[in-house]
Amino acid sequence: MEHVISVENMRLSDRMTIESGTSSLILMRRAAEGIRASYSYPGKTAVIAGSGNNGGDGFALAEILAAEGKDVDVYTVSDHFSEDSEYYKDRVIQAGVAVRPYSEGCLDPYDTIVDCLLGTGFKGEVRGRCRDAITGINNSSSFVISADINSGMNGDTGEYSLTVRSDITVTIGYLKAGLVTAYLKKDPAIGRLVKTDIGIGLAKEENYLLSDEEWDARKLPPGSDRCIIDGHIFFRGNI
């Protein structure tokens, strides 16, 4: 059984873990390590970083890849960043990684693209430079990894007007309801969904992903892949 949670619960869980003594910078580094572990990163890698902490995961990942001798560059869509993102941006620049503004055609030479634009809290329609960057990612022939969630996707519902199409999505801490909903419906935006545990405690239990055996053991409806009981959503599937 896997926990499946809302965006708000993820925020609460993250805050609770930080208040319990694990710094946000350590959690960001762990997230980057989990994204690194998801793939081999052959050839040249481009990290596309947004202004928030999702972008910070990308900067931290670029630092890890550079320390391993990987060929990595970072492209940004903003000139302002969250405090933690700024910390890892400075570190990656000190490590000699090129950090440049995103521009049309800049992704052409890369074997791998890591989408770190928009996090789980995004809602609505993608606009401006983020929209340009998502379009550029989707038009590329590169292998695409999305950090935590496919940028542009609603973390609670899985809905979107425009989203990154990933080969792998590495969600951080816990599975999010929107990602699970989209993935189990075989949404082509998500090639493969994996989860990386970074030591975040769960603020509250919400919903659950069950294997076929767990589903049958609970005597849930055999013809369904989704069931609501006492306000909790039970999903059936393999991730």
- Report the C-alpha gap between 8 and 156 in whole angstroms: 9
pLDDT more than 90, % of the chain: 98
Query: Sorting pLDDT into bands at 50, 70 and 90, what band is 76?
Result: very high
Angle at 59 between CA 27 and CA 37, to 5 degrees: 65
The SS3 call for residue 123 is coil
DSSP 79: S
> pLDDT at position 238, please?
87
User: How many Cβ atoms from other residues are within 10 Å of residue 207's Cβ?
Assistant: 21
Q: Which residues pair with 116 in a beta bridge?
A: 49
Q: Which two tokens stand for residue 113?
A: 């693209």
Structure tokens belonging to residue 218: 């609970």
| Tens of pLDDT, residues 117-153 | 999 999 999 999 999 999 999 999 999 999 999 999 9
Residue where the block lists tokens 């007007």: 161
Mean pLDDT over each residue of the chain, to the nearest integer: 97
pLDDT at position 166, please?
Answer: 98
First to last CA, the chain: 11
Query: What is the mean predicted confidence (pLDDT) over 68-78?
Result: 97
**pLDDT of 74:** 98
pLDDT average, residue stretch 63-74: 98
Confirm if 191 and 21 have CB atoms less than 8 A apart. Answer: no
Other beta carbons less than 10 A from residue 211's beta carbon: 14
Q: Is residue 184 within 8 Å of residue 155, measured between CB atoms?
A: no
Fold held by 21-203: Rossmann fold (3.40.50)
Q: What are phi and psi of 125, to 5 degrees?
A: -110, 135
Q: Is the pLDDT score of 43 beyond 90?
A: yes
DSSP classification of residue 82 = -
DSSP string of 204-230? ---EEEE-HHHHHHTT--TT-SEEEET
Q: What is the pLDDT of residues 88-124, one digit of tens each?
A: 999 999 999 999 999 999 999 999 999 999 999 999 9
Instruction: Say if CB 170 and CB 196 are below 8 A apart.
Output: yes
Hey, what are 200's tokens? Answer: 């975040």
Helices within 44-203 (DSSP H only): 53-67, 83-94, 128-139, 177-184
Q: CA–CA separation, 116 vs 119, rounded Å?
A: 8
What is the rounded CA–CA span in Å between residue 30 and residue 198? Answer: 6
Which token pair is 1?
């059984």
CA angle 186, 189, 190 (to 5 degrees): 65
> Would you state the structure tokens that stand for residue 88, as one six-digit string?
């890892």
Which pLDDT score, from 0 to 100, does residue 211 have?
Answer: 95
Q: What is the pLDDT of residue 214?
A: 96
